[in-house]
Amino acid sequence: MSTTYRDALREALREALTRDQRVFLMGEDVGRYGGSYAVSKGLLAEFGEERIRDTPLSESAFVGAGIGAALNGMLPIVEVMTCNFSLLALDQIVNNAATIRHMSGGQFSIPLVIRMATGAGRQLAAQHSHSFEGWYAHIPGIRIVTPATLEDARGMLWTALMDPDPVIIFENAMLYNLEGELAPDAGAVDIDRAVVRRAGQDLTLVTYGGSLGKTLEAAAQLAGQGVSAEVIDLRTLRPLDMATVLGSLAKTHRMVIVDEGWKSGSLAAEIMARVMEQAFYDLDAPIARVCSLEVPIPYPKHLEDAAIPQVATIVESALRTAARHG
């Protein structure tokens, strides 16, 4: 059936709320307003105020409440309006949610899911448009997932709720209107492994989240220029599935990483380091990165587009890498 990424997320929420009475959703404007991106629209009328909870504008407070609820046997889904705002809850996420299992010697679990919008492209300026997935992927004790397809938007939530540790789901804001076909029986999906979205022989393109569509389009353009690019969707950023990445590299011997985060200290840099440590001799050319420019995301559309990875910059980097020899 035809649907959108937004509707797939809503169906995932509806299924979870129906399936287990311990599940509830809370966050800013998730109830009467229906969510800042309309993901939870209609759920308040369907499930009531006990299950769909509007919260005050205090990320630290409601993320902390989610941690407490998880500690007491509930399965909370906490929506943070944008990943920029999650910085107001860093103490709760980093010092509490991520550490309690370790600090309790395994006595306590935190089955908490935090959903947040990420990424640029909607002219929401620097306080609403950054990509902090790579920051959070640095932290032991939490899992980071980045659904880039309708199937993953529909299926990752329930799997995340069944994880005994906190899971953060980063939903790229440019994907909410993505349309496509989704099987009527679509359900829970794996959140442990990356997946090859397009097979190729000459070059590996590694990406995730909102950059997947651009990377696939770049791969199609590269095919028209005689370069066969394999596209890997990481899906989960912590823990990284390096086996899939290295398996592709062993075939293509060249790699470009597309990451909407800033280049300095980026997830792309971590992947590069692991490739150098584990598969240096599989490389026939230096690894290239296509990342956001080292600036706060601008408001003007032409500057915003220039600041983040685009199809043309991915193609250009891939062609340079494919032309390099040893």
3-state secondary structure 131-169: CCHHHHCCCCCCEEECCCCHHHHHHHHHHHHCCCCCEEE
Spatial contact of 287 and 256, defined as CB atoms under 8 Å apart:
yes
Based on the residue annotation, tell me whether 128 is a catalytic residue of this protein. Answer: yes
Based on the residue annotation, tell me whether 181 is a catalytic residue of this protein. Answer: no
What is the helix, strand, coil percentage profile of the chain, to 5? 40, 20, 40
Q: Which of 11, 15, 28, 59 is catalytic?
A: 59
- Any residues with CB less than 8 A from the CB of 208 and at least 6 apart, and which? 133, 146, 148, 233, 234, 235, 237, 259
- Phi, psi (deg, nearest 5) at residue 158: -65, -40
Q: Which of 11, 28, 79, 128 is catalytic?
A: 128
Q: What is the dihedral of CA 38, 43, 44, 49, to 10 degrees?
A: -120
| Cα–Cα distance, 180 to 99 (Å, whole number) | 39
- Any residues with CB less than 8 A from the CB of 220 and at least 6 apart, and which? none
Question: Residues with catalytic annotation?
Answer: 59, 128
